[in-house]
């Protein structure tokens, strides 16, 4: 989903001779040039983290409910959790009863970065403004990218709000965060409406201090950074999607800052794919089993895994399904990045390559393993485009 093509510094960091814009999660996916337009290399792992953390200490409280506690009350919940309609139930809590949902896999979207590049969205330095730049200067490209994913078969699209964090947009965050988030939400909503299809819009709630960087997370500052994102997206989204989450603490924070609006909370963790693990773990080192238990505790309607290599997702789904049973939906949207690039420090200044074994047909085969393991939602993250989503929709949707 969008999100995520969000850069080793965000999701989809896309490169051009003019620089390396990045958006979605951690993607540094680029079409061709490697090592051109090197990104600001400030942090210890700048490949996924520009280290630019400029918006600190901002007072962003806009009257939003930032103390919603655990918001377990899904009272007036229009479509969350209890929807037993196995049919076109893509709304909300989405059908949490898998028995009523047999054989039905919900199709998510893919990464936005490369799609925006294809549409000639403006790219210029500073690179970390890229996503904001697309929102304000190429809104049609953002909307069209959403539409292409919908036409490919996506039933849930994710607003392009992943990069609306100080980490990416610097000083603009203080004054423009809510407006930018609202623009992201509105464009996704417009695409859904324009498509004429029953498409739901998820609001991307990104890592607030950098993708893949649980070590940078500041629980005390997180609520005020989260507030304008939530306020801007709220009028437009059906689902809250906390994505590319690296630690249990990040997940708890997002749940706590969300309003009691009855909208389903989807929780998507990125997994450590740098080295083999006996059991799947988050990038914080905490286990997927712990993450699954937390998702249940927080009342999440869905637990997902995103922006990690496709081969490690199946084990995570199995662990999660064992723990969660039929109590929530499980999803995967992997990235198409070369894993070494994704994790090695010496790749930090370069763009990530896209794996040849994640072309649409190959990606479908990965997705089939996730479904066999218990996933009932699939999509794509950095480097996964409409052509991949079409393949998923045709064979799994
Ligand atoms: Zn990603």
Q: What is the pLDDT of residues 65-99, one digit of tens each?
A: 333 333 333 333 333 333 333 333 344 444 444 44
Task: Tally the domains of the chain.
Answer: 1
Residue 326 CA to ligand 1 centre (angstroms)? 27
How far apart (Å, rounded) are the C-alpha atoms in residues 307 and 350?
Answer: 18
pLDDT tens digits, 131-144: 667 888 889 999 99
User: Which two structure tokens, joined as six digits, stand for 51?
Assistant: 């280290």
Residue 87 inside a domain? The answer is no
Residue 85 CA to ligand 1 centre (angstroms)? 31
Average pLDDT over residues 92-117: 69
Residue 145 CA to ligand 1 centre (angstroms)? 16
Residue 161 CA to ligand 1 centre (angstroms)? 13
Residue 332 CA to ligand 1 centre (angstroms)? 11
Residue 349 CA to ligand 1 centre (angstroms)? 17
Contact 366, 357 (CB under 8 A): no
Contact 9, 341 (CB under 8 A): no
Residue 47 inside a domain? The answer is no
Percentage of the chain modeled with pLDDT above 90: 58
Residue 11 CA to ligand 1 centre (angstroms)? 4
Instruction: Output DSSP code: residue 379.
Output: E
**How far is the first Cα of the chain from the last one, in angstroms, to the nearest whole number?**
16
Kindly list the protein residues that place their beta carbon closer than 5 angstroms to ligand 1, a single-atom ion.
Answer: 4, 11, 25, 27, 307, 335, 381-382
The pLDDT of residue 85 is: 36
Residue 20 inside a domain? The answer is no
The pLDDT of residue 124 is: 52
Residue 319 CA to ligand 1 centre (angstroms)? 22
Residue 61 inside a domain? The answer is no
Name the residue among 214, 268, 219 with its Cα closest to residue 240: 268
Residue 109 CA to ligand 1 centre (angstroms)? 12
The pLDDT of residue 167 is: 83
Ranges assigned E (strand) in 256-381: 265-269, 302-306, 329-334, 377-380
Domain range spanning residue 214?
98-396
C-alpha distances in Å from residue 320, one per residue of 244, 276, 286: 17, 18, 14
Ranges assigned E (strand) in 199-251: 200-205, 239-245
Residue predicted with more confidence, 172 or 280: 280
Residue 70 CA to ligand 1 centre (angstroms)? 27
Residue 29 CA to ligand 1 centre (angstroms)? 9
The pLDDT of residue 90 is: 40
Average pLDDT over residues 37-43: 29
Q: Residue 386: pLDDT band by 50, 70, 90 thresholds?
A: very high
Residue 381 CA to ligand 1 centre (angstroms)? 4
Residue 343 inside a domain? The answer is yes
Name the residue among 160, 241, 244 with its Cα closest to residue 210: 244
Q: Residue 236 — φ and ψ, nearest 5°?
A: -115, -15
Residue 390 CA to ligand 1 centre (angstroms)? 18
Residue predicted with more confidence, 49 or 170: 170
Phi and psi based region of residue 349 (left: phi greater than 0; alpha: psi -120 to 50; beta: remaining):
alpha
Residue 338 CA to ligand 1 centre (angstroms)? 12
Q: CA angle, corner 54, sides to 167 and 351, nearest 5?
A: 35
Residue 168 CA to ligand 1 centre (angstroms)? 15
Residue 35 CA to ligand 1 centre (angstroms)? 19
Residue 23 inside a domain? The answer is no
Residue 298 CA to ligand 1 centre (angstroms)? 24
Residue 21 CA to ligand 1 centre (angstroms)? 14
Residue 314 CA to ligand 1 centre (angstroms)? 17
The pLDDT of residue 349 is: 37
The pLDDT of residue 70 is: 30
The CATH number of whichever domain residue 199 belongs to comes to 3.20.20.330
Q: Residue 381: pLDDT band by 50, 70, 90 thresholds?
A: very high
Residue 63 CA to ligand 1 centre (angstroms)? 31
- Mean pLDDT taken over the chain: 77
Residue 290 CA to ligand 1 centre (angstroms)? 22
Residue 140 inside a domain? The answer is yes
Query: Which residue blocks in the chain are alpha helix, DSSP H?
Result: 113-118, 130-137, 139-152, 166-169, 172-195, 222-233, 248-257, 288-297, 313-324, 339-343, 360-373, 386-396
Is residue 265's pLDDT more than 70? yes
Q: Residue 354: pLDDT band by 50, 70, 90 thresholds?
A: confident
Is residue 114's pLDDT more than 60? yes
Residue 236 CA to ligand 1 centre (angstroms)? 23
Residue 357 inside a domain? The answer is yes
The pLDDT of residue 183 is: 97
Q: Could you please report the per-residue DSSP string of 67-104? A: --TT----TT-SSSS-----SS--STT----GGGGTT-
């Amino acid at each position: 989903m969008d999100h995520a093509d969000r850069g080793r510094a965000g999701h989809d960091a896309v490169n051009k001779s003019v620089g390396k814009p990045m958006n979605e999660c951690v993607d540094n996916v680029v079409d061709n040039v490697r090592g051109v337009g090197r990104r600001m290399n400030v942090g210890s792992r700048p490949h996924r983290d520009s280290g630019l953390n400029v918006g600190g200490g901002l007072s962003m409280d806009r009257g939003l409910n930032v103390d919603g506690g655990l918001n377990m009350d899904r009272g007036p919940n229009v479509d969350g959790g209890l929807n037993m309609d196995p049919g076109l139930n893509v709304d909300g809590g989405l059908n949490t009863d898998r028995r009523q949902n047999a054989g039905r896999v919900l199709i998510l979207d893919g990464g936005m970065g490369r799609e925006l590049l294809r549409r000639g969205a403006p790219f210029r330095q500073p690179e970390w403004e890229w996503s904001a730049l697309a929102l304000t200067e190429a809104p049609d490209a953002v909307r069209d990218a959403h539409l292409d994913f919908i036409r490919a078969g996506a039933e849930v699209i994710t607003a392009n709000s992943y990069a609306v964090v100080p980490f990416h947009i610097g000083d603009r965050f203080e004054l423009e965060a809510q407006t930018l988030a609202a623009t992201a939400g509105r464009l996704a909503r417009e695409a859904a409406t324009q498509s004429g299809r029953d498409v739901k819009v998820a609001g991307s709630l990104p890592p607030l201090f950098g993708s893949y960087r649980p070590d940078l997370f500041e629980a005390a500052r997180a609520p005020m950074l989260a507030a304008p994102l939530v306020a801007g997206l709220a009028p437009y989204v059906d689902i809250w999607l906390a994505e590319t989450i690296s630690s249990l603490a990040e997940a708890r924070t997002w749940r706590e800052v969300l309003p009691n609006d009855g909208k389903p909370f989807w929780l998507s963790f990125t997994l450590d794919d740098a080295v083999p693990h006996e059991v799947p773990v988050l990038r914080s080192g905490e286990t997927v089993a712990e993450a699954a238990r937390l998702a249940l505790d927080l009342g999440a309607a869905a637990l997902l895994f995103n922006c990690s290599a496709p081969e490690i997702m199946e084990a995570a789904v199995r662990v999660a399904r064992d723990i969660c049973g039929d109590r929530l939906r499980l999803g995967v949207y992997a990235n198409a990045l070369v894993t070494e690039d994704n994790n090695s420090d010496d790749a930090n200044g370069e763009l990530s390559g896209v794996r040849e074994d994640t072309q649409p047909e190959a990606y479908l085969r990965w997705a089939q393993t996730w479904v066999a393991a218990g996933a009932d939602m699939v999509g794509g993250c950095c480097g996964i485009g409409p052509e991949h989503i079409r393949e998923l929709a045709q064979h799994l949707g």
